[in-house]
Amino acid sequence: DIKQLASALSSVKLSENSLIRILWPKEKCRLLREDVILVDSPGIDVTPDLDLWIDKFCLDADVFVLVANAESTLMQTEKNFFHKVSSRLSQPNVFVLQNRWDVSEMEEDIDQVKQQHIDRNTAFLADELKVTDRKAAKDRVFFVSAREALASRLSCDKGIATPERVLLPGFQARLFEFANFEKEFEMCISHSAVKTKFEQHTKRAHLINSELRSVMEEAYTKSLTLQDDQQQLRREKSERLNKLDKELDMLTADVKKKIRAMVEDVERKVSAALNDEIRRLSLLVEEFERPFHPDPVFLSSYKKTVCQKSCLKKTKLT
CATH number at residue 53: 3.40.50
- The pLDDT of residue 234: 94
Q: Let me know if residue 119 belongs to a domain.
A: yes
Contact 138, 118 (CB under 8 A): yes
- Strand 63-69's sheet: what is its strand order? 63-69, 93-99, 141-143
Report long-range pairs for 118-127 (Cβ below 8 Å, ≥24 apart). Answer: 120/73, 120/74, 121/74, 121/96, 124/74, 124/79, 124/82, 124/96, 125/94, 125/96
Q: Let me know if residue 114 belongs to a domain.
A: yes
Task: Please state, rounded to an integer, the average pLDDT across all residues of the chain.
Answer: 83
Last residue of a domain, one of 114, 143, 172: 143
User: Measured between alpha carbons, how far is 126 from 145 in angstroms, rounded to an integer?
Assistant: 25
Q: Let me know if residue 31 belongs to a domain.
A: yes
pLDDT digits (tens, 9 = 90+) for 34-43: 778 888 876 6
Q: Let me know if residue 123 belongs to a domain.
A: yes
Query: Average pLDDT, stretch 197-205?
Result: 73
Per-residue pLDDT for 5 more than 90? no
The band of 98, judged by pLDDT with boundaries at 50, 70 and 90, is: very high
- The pLDDT of residue 292: 61
Beta bridge pairs of residue 94:
64
Contact 125, 94 (CB under 8 A): yes
- The pLDDT of residue 28: 82
Query: Average pLDDT, stretch 154-165?
Result: 78
Per-residue pLDDT for 318 more than 60? no
- The pLDDT of residue 118: 94
Residues near 257 by Cβ (< 8 Å), separated by ≥ 6? none
What pTM does this model have?
A: 0.59
Pick the range with the lowest mean pLDDT from 13-17, 132-136, 244-248, 269-273.
13-17
Higher pLDDT, 256 or 289: 256
Q: Let me know if residue 83 belongs to a domain.
A: yes
Per-residue pLDDT for 102 more than 80? yes
Q: Let me know if residue 281 belongs to a domain.
A: no
Residue 93, SS3? strand
> How many percent of the chain have pLDDT more than 90?
34
Helix then strand then coil, % of the chain, to nearest 5: 65, 5, 30
Pick the range with the lowest mean pLDDT from 27-31, 119-123, 221-225, 310-314.
310-314
Structural domain count, the chain: 2
Domain containing 297 equals 290-318
Residue 67, SS3? strand
Contact 94, 129 (CB under 8 A): yes
The band of 23, judged by pLDDT with boundaries at 50, 70 and 90, is: confident
User: Measured between alpha carbons, how far is 227 from 235 in angstroms, rounded to an integer?
Assistant: 12
Query: Average pLDDT, stretch 121-127?
Result: 93
Residue 69, SS3? strand
Contact 61, 189 (CB under 8 A): no
Q: Let me know if residue 220 belongs to a domain.
A: no
Q: Let me know if residue 68 belongs to a domain.
A: yes
- Please give the helix or strand (H or E) that residue 99 lies within, else none: strand 93-99
Query: Average pLDDT, stretch 293-311?
Result: 70
Per-residue pLDDT for 207 more than 80? yes
Last residue of a domain, one of 143, 167, 200: 143
Higher pLDDT, 192 or 240: 240
Last residue of a domain, one of 104, 120, 143: 143
User: Measured between alpha carbons, how far is 125 from 315 in angstroms, rounded to an integer?
Assistant: 140
pLDDT digits (tens, 9 = 90+) for 231-288: 999 999 999 999 999 999 999 999 999 999 999 999 999 998 888 877 777 766 666 6
> How many percent of the chain have pLDDT more than 70?
82
User: Measured between alpha carbons, how far is 143 from 68 in angstroms, rounded to an integer?
Assistant: 10
Per-residue pLDDT for 176 more than 80? yes
Contact 152, 162 (CB under 8 A): yes
Per-residue pLDDT for 317 more than 60? no
Residues near 86 by Cβ (< 8 Å), separated by ≥ 6? 92, 129, 131
